[in-house]
Chains A and B, each alone.
Chain A
Amino acid sequence: MAATPFPARQLSRRSVLRGGLGAFAATAAGVPLLSACGGNESGGNAKEMSFWNFYGPSDDQGPQSKWFVDTVAEWNKNNDVKVKLRYIPGKDYLNGTTLQTAFQSGQGPDIFLISPGDFLRYYNGGVLQDLGSALPDESKKDYLPGLLEARSVDGKVYGLPMEIEPLAMYYSEAAFESAGLSEADLPKTWDQTIAVAQKLTNSKRYGVMFETLPGYYQNFTWYPFMWQGDGNAIKDGKSAFDSPAAVQALKFWGDTIKNKVAPRKALGDGGGDVVSNLGSGAAAMQQSGIWAVADMRTKAKTFKYGIIPLPTPAGGSAATDLGGWAFVANSKGKNPEAAAKFIAWALGSTDAAGVERQRQWNTEVKTNLPPRKSVQQAADAKGAFADGALKKFVSEIAPTGKPEPRFPPEVYQPIADAIQACQLNAADPAKAAADAAEKIDTFLKTYQGAPIS
């Protein structure tokens, strides 16, 4: 039946019956398929591994796509077990069903990308492969402190970060000039942010912009504002969300909307997309990540902008979130050992070619902070962080950063609901925080997975 899309005229009743019944029988035989899915191909040593990602080979064949294609080609040249890239557009990868459906039916990719927010979900599902055996000690030591720990459980490393992505506030020089403001007016506190944003807001432009679409990304961009008041979502295994720090951060985001100085809906791909928002003139200040430097370089070359650290509350201290995606291997995949080796080679090699590959990714085709010391040195030698926004990211912003927390969905969701309700629906921050804290506590009481950081 599967291979019979022939014209209706020639369709034979018998073949349809046979095919149909065959299909039926196959399905019936597959009823234990519910319990059988997952492990049936595990531990294999197949000769081809799939690598799902949202970079390449993409239709626009940009430099980031090319880096993925070239890296895989390089590996395939020297290895028996080949890697095959599968590109999934970012939106479908992040919010779609593709990855989840595949894993639910035991058809997950062999190698894929995950963000810290997704780490525990996949770890607790038992599909992450320990990369330890493939990763030499010298390469482990090359990573900056804390990075591997954020992707480890019980000392075993399950993911290698490809980048560090701190958040900052971008501002448009043209917007400041047209509003008669100068660099001296750049906000340092939350109150100043709203006051300056008021001056920058006009009929075509919002003064400041935060992410508005619910999702992991929005939570990621909001955490720093909670941290600035020394708050946290979880402390000592219990919810700490019902705190003044979280409440004031919720209130701050809500105030930007209440005062009509921030948009309720971002353009393009949302808060992470500086080109569509700041670059198009729709926002005068925008919170976003270091990756936007490369985006602006390729898509809005002449646009003049600067960055400042995220403004802080009165009496607060600077903080930012360090994002960053990691390569992980599927322990139930077709060849987990080889997948681990590929990851260790692609991201962790300490030889000259490996360092150069990482330098290319982190400073040439994309802008990130390199997660490895040797790569950072190589990048410094080329002057990658000598001036401009990138220099500020390295010297001023990244040192105040904390790695993105790895919250499971049950912790992420109550926080997301609180953020959305306070930001867009004028909810009472104190009550929203208390509600969220209660839900998190309920969940933590029965949680049995790996430690939440």
Chain B
Amino acid sequence: MTRIRVLPILAHVLAIIAVAPLLWILISALKPAEDVFNFGWPSTWTLDNLQYVLLKIPMPRFMLNSAIVSVTVTVIALFFHSMAAYALARLRFPGRGIIFSGIMSTLLVSLPVILVPLFLVAKQLGLLDSYAGLIVPSIFHAFGIFLLRQYYLNIPRELEEAADLDGCGYWRRYWSVILPLSRPVLASLSVLFFLANWNAFLWPLTITRNPDLRVIQLGVSGMQGQYASAWNLILAAAVIAAIPTVVVFVAGQRRLVDAMKTTGLK
């Protein structure tokens, strides 16, 4: 019995340690400039830092850009990935093994490694300095295909066969049987995708020049360049950049565990 008591307490303590750095940043962002390195509870609280960052710097604009990009990428990517995953999991066709290995092998490639050639391709397609340039290359990633395929492998075949008896085509099966069944996993993946795109830095930095297209991570990173000495403002910007991700995560976290479970990550 005692062990059962001890473990939850340990869990709570560890959890506090894990979030302590984040909480400390939040508290520091609410301190006046001169107190920012004072190790202790702030003597006075202030919203000036947040206010300054929101009003004097086009933070709202950066956030809007990030929201447009993240939401669009998430929606299109989930749609494409679920189609591909459906084919890979449920349909028989020549070359399936090769195509699947090919898709999986792209997981070995990371952005820093192909940055310049990718930029050349984007240039050739006329994607430079546009929302399309921020969005289109970010859609394609094998990870989502892999997870969805695992999920679809576990859907009982009978469900689909019922549709088959009705004479449904493959599109119809996908659209009216598979897609509704994937709602939970799509929901959890949408959290992951949104986070990944909201947090993207290197690609937006490379492809956008127009200041009106700057995404939030570029905005925060730029803050550091311009306000190097003003930790209070930099931290305020960091907090603002992090808030939407925390909200999305808290709203979607229950689904995250459940869906990962059903994805049968194994």
A96 CB → nearest B CB, Å: 6
Say whether A275 faces chain B, with CB atoms less than 8 Å apart. Answer: yes
B75 CB to closest chain A CB (Å) equals 5
Q: Decide: A5 and B132 in contact? CB cutoff 8 A.
A: yes
On whether the beta carbons of B135 and A5 are closer than 8 Å, the reply is yes
CB of B170 closer than 8 Å to a CB of A: no
Partner of B222, one of A59, A104, A105: A59
User: Is A11 located at the chain interface by the 8 A CB criterion?
Assistant: yes
Structural contact, A101 and B125, CB atoms closer than 8 A: no
Q: Kindly state the interface size class of chain B when it binds its partner.
A: 35 or more
Task: Please tell me if the beta carbons of B136 and A91 are within 8 angstroms of each other in the complex.
Answer: no
**Interface positions of A from 40 to 83, Cβ below 8 Å from B:** 50, 54, 57-60
Interface centre among A2, A27, A60, A280 (most CB of B within 10 A): A2
List residues of B (182-228) whose CB comes within 8 Å of A's CBs.
202, 205-206, 209-211, 221-228
**B90 on the interface (CB 8 Å rule)?**
no
- Residue interface mask B112-131, A partner, CB < 8 A = 1: 00011001110111111011
The answer to whether B45 has its CB under 8 Å from any CB of chain A is: no
Chain A residues 90 to 123 lying within 8 A of chain B, measured CB to CB, are: 90-92, 96-98, 101, 104-105, 107
Closest approach, in angstroms, between the C-beta of A272 and any C-beta of chain B? Answer: 9
Q: What size tier do the contact residues of chain A reach?
A: 35 or more
Assess whether B76 is interfacial by the CB under 8 Å rule: yes
Task: State whether the Cβ of B56 lies closer than 8 Å to any Cβ in chain A.
Answer: yes
Q: Are A280 and B229 in contact (CB under 8 A)?
A: yes
Q: Return chain A residues, CB-CB under 8 Å to B229.
A: 267-269, 273, 275-276, 279-280, 299
Contact with A along B82-126 (1 / 0, CB 8 A): 000000000000000000000000000000000110011101111
Q: Which of chain A's residues 1-16 have a Cβ closer than 8 Å to chain B?
A: 1-5, 7-8, 11
Kindly report which residue of chain A lies nearest to residue B77, judged by CB atoms: A8
Report which residue of A11, A101, A104, A273 has the largest number of chain B beta carbons within 10 angstroms of its beta carbon: A101
B245 at the interface (CB under 8 A from A): no
On whether A87 and B211 interact (CB within 8 A), knowing A3-B132, A98-B205, A105-B116, the answer reads yes
* Identity of the chain A residue whose Cβ is nearest the Cβ of B34 in the assembled complex: A280
Contact A105 B56 (CB under 8 A): no
Known: A2-B130, A8-B75, A273-B229. A105 touches B136 (CB 8 A): no
Would you call A33 and B57 a contact (CB within 8 A)? no
Chain B residues contacting A50 (CB-CB under 8 Å) are 209
B115 touches A8 (CB 8 A): no
Chain B contact surface mostly: helix
- Per the bound structure, the CA–CA distance linking A104 and B37 in Å amounts to 43
Contacts of A96 in B (CB 8 A): 205
Contact B211 A57 (CB under 8 A): yes
One digit per residue, 1 when the CB lies within 8 angstroms of any chain A CB and 0 when it does not, for chain B 51-84 equals 0000011100000000000001001101100000
Query: Contact between B209 and A268 (Cβ–Cβ < 8 Å)?
Result: no
A37 at interface, CB cutoff 8 A: yes
Given contacts A60-B226, A90-B225, A276-B229, is CB(A27)–CB(B124) below 8 Å? yes
Complex Cα gap A29–B120 (Å)? 12
Q: Kindly identify, within residues 114 to 156 of chain B, every residue whose CB is under 8 Å from any CB belonging to chain A.
A: 115-116, 119-121, 123-128, 130-133, 135-136
**Cβ A59 vs Cβ B226 within 8 A:** yes
The reply to whether the CB of A353 lies closer than 8 angstroms to some CB of chain B is: no
- Distance in angstroms between the alpha carbons of A27 and B120 in the assembled complex: 9
Residue pair B124, A33 in contact (C-beta under 8 Å):
yes
A86 to B211, CA, bound (A): 8
B136:A2 contact, CB within 8 angstroms: yes
Chain A residue contacts of B225, Cβ below 8 A: 54, 89-92, 269
What is the CB-to-nearest-CB distance from B3 to chain A, in angstroms, rounded to a whole number? 43
Distance in angstroms from A50 CB to nearest chain B CB is 8
Contact of A8 among B79, B124, B130, B226 (CB under 8 A): B79
Q: With the chains together, A26 CA to B121 CA distance in Å?
A: 9
Minimal Cβ-Cβ distance residue in B for A8: B79
* A34 close to B120 (CB less than 8 A): yes
Cβ B124 vs Cβ A91 within 8 A = no
Q: Which chain B residue shows the least CB distance to A86?
A: B209
Kindly report which residue of chain A lies nearest to residue B211, judged by CB atoms: A87
Specify which of A1, A37, A89 is in contact with B221 (CB 8 Å cutoff). A89
**Once the chains bind, are A60 and B227 in contact (CB under 8 Å)?**
yes
**Residues on the B chain within 8 Å of A60, using CB:** 56-57, 226-227
A104 to B227, CA, bound (A): 30
Interface residues of A in 139-178 (CB under 8 A from B): none
CB of B120 to closest CB in A, whole Å: 5
Hey, which chain A residues are within 8 Å of B76, CB to CB?
A: 5, 8, 11
What is the CA–CA distance of A300 and B226 in the complex, to the nearest angstrom?
15
- With beta carbons under 8 angstroms apart, the residue of B128, B205, B227 that contacts A107 is B128
| B79/A92 in contact, CB under 8 A | no
Q: A5-B136, A97-B115 are in contact. List 4 more A-B contacts (CB 8 A).
A: A1-B136, A89-B224, A89-B226, A268-B229
Chosen A-B contacts, 29 in total, with CB atoms closer than 8 Å, are A2-B127, A2-B133, A2-B136, A5-B135, A8-B76, A8-B79, A11-B76, A26-B124, A27-B125, A59-B56, A59-B226, A60-B56, A86-B209, A87-B211, A89-B221, A89-B224, A92-B225, A97-B202, A97-B206, A101-B115, A101-B119, A101-B206, A105-B123, A107-B128, A273-B229, A275-B228, A276-B228, A276-B229, A299-B229
Chain A positions within 8 Å of B, measured between CB atoms, are: 1-5, 7-8, 11, 23, 26-27, 29-30, 33-34, 37, 50, 54, 57-60, 86-87, 89-92, 96-98, 101, 104-105, 107, 267-269, 273, 275-276, 279-280, 299
**A-B interface, 4 closest residue pairs, ranked by CB to CB distance from nearest:** A89-B225, A268-B228, A269-B228, A276-B229
